[in-house]
Amino acid sequence: FMKTDPQISEFTAELMKFDKLEEETFELPDFITVGPFLLDSSQLKKTVINYIQQWKAGICQKLNEKYHILLNNMLIFIDEQSQSLSRPLRDLEDIRLLMISLDSILERQIEMDMNIIPIE
């Protein structure tokens, strides 16, 4: 899953898939009658639910790691641009550098907006 470099919507879809699987597993009966035998599947059910929860925790961990890196990169970019924009303007070269910084901010704005969306 992580080899495809998933976006947040794909993380959400994967988590929803595991939620549905967990719910379906939870709804299975604890005891199954097969002919004259009564099979106790409660331990198997608990184990499967535990594995599903571990997978969900792993996916959430990968999501956290990915967006932690993205957020750190954004903060570094913001700090760099803030320093560039706070320099005093003395001549045309300073204005040119200011315009380059503003252009860079404008280019990255859409990317930043797409990366920072509410996670429910």
Residues 56 and 83: beta-carbon distance below 8 Å: no
Q: What rounded mean pLDDT belongs to the chain?
A: 87
Residues 93 and 101: beta-carbon distance below 8 Å: no
Categorize the per-residue pLDDT at 118 as very low, low, confident or very high, splitting at 50, 70 and 90. Answer: low
**Which percentage of the chain shows pLDDT scores above 70?**
97
pLDDT tens for 47-104 read 999 999 999 999 999 988 888 888 898 889 889 888 888 888 888 888 888 899 888 8
The CATH code belonging to domain 2-115 is: 1.10.287
What are the Cα distances from residue 18, in Å, to 12, 13, 27?
Answer: 10, 9, 14
Q: What DSSP designation does 88 have? A: P
pLDDT tens for 3-14 read 777 878 888 889
